[in-house]
Structure 1
Amino acid sequence: MLTAVLILAILPAFLILGLGLVARTVAAQRLKPRVVQYTPERDSTVLRDALLVDADRRAASAALIDLAVKRKVRLLAGEGKREPIGVELVQGAVLTAEETALLEALFGPEHTSTRVRRFSADRRALAGRLKSLLLNTEHALARDGLVAERRVTWPGVTLTVFAYLGMLVEALFLVFTIVSGEWGSLIATLVAIAATIATIFVTPSSWRRFLPAADARREHLAGLRQYIELAEADRLRVLQSPSGADLRTTDAAAPEQSDPVTRFHLHERLLPHAVIFGLERDWIAKLKLEHAELDQTNLDTLGDLVDVTAEIAAAIHAAGSVVELTSAVGDLADGTGTAIGGVFELFNL
């Protein structure tokens, strides 16, 4: 019996598990950054960048936080952790078509301002609208030649079918080994079942295929992630300085040696991408430290701009996690507190 289990259960189970791991590695399509990057590319958007690194679950939250960082909206968290989060349009804010589509997806016709959309019909409607938003973004990437028009699905489907067929064979062996009382065969069968179940979890059901034209953008994003991961004073002193139109200095000093206001604005701008990479908590902590280091003169230079770092941190805390941020929003209002119903009212603003 043990020989039969090894040949017909253990060997196939670990074979498809190995293929599932290979499929997962291929699906990741990882790229190593050539250099550290300090700013997003000029023509990029947060939604597009999120899809280029397969951060779909964080894309909408990162885009909403990007609106807050750009001072186009304010995130107003309630007093409690389970209170709805208000979104207020800043007076005079000009929204792009993608930003308007994001707000319309968050505050669509089925949206209710009651807390909260967890396990509710409104939450399912929200998920559907956000899925359509990301699908439209993916189609835009395909039109630009960055991703293939169709996702790769056959490896996931094939391996899942093999896994379920394997579980049927293993179930038969499990019955026979229990009846016969062969403990060695029983343990081997259980190991095969565990490997088969693991295959179902590790094998991606589908993945988008990035085309060669996307390599440069994805390498840039990998370099940006490396900067966010390594943004500590001792490590950044050996890196070259950032440069670009958004910076207020162009000298050769490292970020920690440049104008504190410049550094703060640079790092604040990277907060949405820190969300994409799952590094938002560490990055918010870094921004708080940098804000605390600004003297009164620098604070006066900042003017009356909203301290969005504290607001974003409070909103994430109220939602429970950054992934839940989009499901925790309540009303959308203008600067006077008047509720905004839909996209047509947004355009009227």
Structure 2
Amino acid sequence: MSAVAALLALAGLVLLAAGIVARHRQTHLPSGSTLACVPYRGSTILGNAVLAGRDDRATAAVLVELAVRGSVGLLLLDRPPGRPEVAVGAVEGAAFDERELDVLVARFGPAMPRGVIRRGSGEERRLSRRIDRVVRDEVEELMRGGTLAGWLPWRDFLRVAAIVALLGSSAALLAALLTHDVSAASLAALAIGGATASIAITPPGRDRWHLPSAQPHRAHLAALQRYLLASDDARTALLRTQWMPEGSPSGWPGGALDEPVTRFRLHVRLLPYAVLFGVERNWVEVLRREAAESAEWDGDPGAIRTLVADAEPLLRLADELVDLGRLTFVAVGLFDARGEHVADVHTELGGGTAVNA
């Protein structure tokens, strides 16, 4: 019995190590030393989330992207502590592309309840399935574009193996307890812990097979992530060399990017990517410092005040919420640009009237 329990314990530890590797591989991007201050040319925030393995933050990043772009407003509602609720309102005249509308309908459409969705509830599982469908649609779009080539099944194999190991270890533990074999029981308990941890840590879904054509895009995402994590001096050194950087999406600030106001505008536009990579708290601190620097700049004071005032609600929202990556799970209602309720979000998005594309 002890030999069997030892083998199960070894299997549990191997499965745990494999789960850790799977978790690391999910979000691992190519290594390098270059920095990038704008997203990849022609990319979308949802597509970037898929290529970066950040599916769990994709919808939150899309919502923040829409807020930064001025297509929706985000309003933190006054609710009891520990139950933050965020109203999401479409701005009059805003246009959404097909995938952005898919995200809004998945989160706020007719099939979803209003209010905070409780962890582990049926509503959360339904929401997860709806969001997963949106992500799968984006994956299929990238496959048609020649960036991805399908799925790798090893995460499925890992989960099945961990479940089998868990069942076998549980049986071994029961047998060891019945025979009063303390050594075997300890090893079986270790095996159960390893298998359980492997199931918990292994990312959901399947690995994606990135084609060689995806590597420049993924390398650019890695450079953008390094930019968000870099020191102020390193970012400033890069911006001094940039003038309408090649690959800059339309609508992003151009000109001399090292000027305080232009730099602030650029960095506000990067807030969705800070959410995507899980560094939004640090990035908000950067934006706070740059807002203060912009106020002291010898430029148009009215334009500067307007710029900072426009960004303030989103920065305050980031301050109030512990994790903007969870934003998609607490949003409620549909409001206009003034924060006044205009219609039930289920009716508006269900009928498509929130989109003026």
Instruction: Report what 1:148 is aligned to.
Output: 149
C-alpha root-mean-square deviation of aligned residues, in Å? Answer: 3.1
Mean CA deviation greater in 53-62 or 30-39: 30-39
Instruction: Report what 1:37 is aligned to.
Output: 36
**2: CA distance between counterparts of 1:2 and 1:123?**
42
Contact 1:47 1:63 in 2 (8 A): yes
Instruction: Report what 1:346 is aligned to.
Output: 354
**CA 1:234–1:51: 2 relative to 1, 3 Å:** same
**2: CA distance between counterparts of 1:176 and 1:106?**
48
**Aligned-residue offset at 1:50:** 0.9
**Aligned-residue offset at 1:172:** 4.5
User: 1:238-285: per-residue Cα shift (whole Å, max 9, x none)?
Assistant: 5463342644434xxxx6xx2111110111111000000000011011
**Where does the alignment leave 5 or more consecutive residues of structure 2 unmatched?**
none
Equivalences for residues 1-349 of structure 1 within 5 A: 2-3=2-3, 5-6=5-6, 8-24=7-23, 26-28=25-27, 30-33=29-32, 35-80=34-79, 81=81, 82=83, 84-112=85-113, 114-118=114-118, 123-149=124-150, 151-153=151-153, 155-204=154-203, 206-230=206-230, 232-236=231-235, 239=238, 241-243=241-243, 244=245, 246-250=252-256, 258-295=258-295, 297-302=299-304, 304-305=306-307, 307-316=309-318, 320-335=322-337, 337=340, 338-339=342-343, 341-342=348-349, 343-347=351-355
**CA 1:107–1:170: 2 relative to 1, 3 Å:** closer
Contact 2:275 2:325 in 1 (8 A): no
**CA 1:306–1:130: 2 relative to 1, 3 Å:** farther
**Aligned-residue offset at 1:227:** 0.5
Secondary structure in 2 matching 1:345: coil
**2: CA distance between counterparts of 1:125 and 1:175?**
36
**CA 1:9–1:105: 2 relative to 1, 3 Å:** closer
Contact 1:319 1:328 in 2 (8 A): no
**2: CA distance between counterparts of 1:97 and 1:70?**
16
| Identical positions, percent | 30
Contact 1:85 1:318 in 2 (8 A): no
User: 1:106-164: per-residue Cα shift (whole Å, max 9, x none)?
Assistant: 3211345x532335665555434322222211111111111123x222x2333333334
Contact 2:106 2:131 in 1 (8 A): yes
Mean CA deviation greater in 74-83 or 262-271: 74-83
**2: CA distance between counterparts of 1:3 and 1:344?**
63
Mean CA deviation greater in 238-247 or 47-56: 238-247
**CA 1:346–1:10: 2 relative to 1, 3 Å:** closer
Which one-letter code corresponds to 1:264 in the other structure? Answer: F
Number of aligned residues? 338
**Where does the alignment leave 5 or more consecutive residues of structure 1 unmatched?**
none
TM-score normalised by the chain length of structure 1: 0.82
**CA 1:194–1:290: 2 relative to 1, 3 Å:** same
**CA 1:141–1:187: 2 relative to 1, 3 Å:** same
Contact 2:90 2:336 in 1 (8 A): yes
**2: CA distance between counterparts of 1:3 and 1:192?**
13
**CA 1:298–1:228: 2 relative to 1, 3 Å:** farther
Rg larger for: 1
**CA 1:10–1:324: 2 relative to 1, 3 Å:** closer
**Aligned-residue offset at 1:104:** 2.7
Mean CA deviation greater in 38-47 or 314-323: 314-323
Contact 1:83 1:115 in 2 (8 A): no
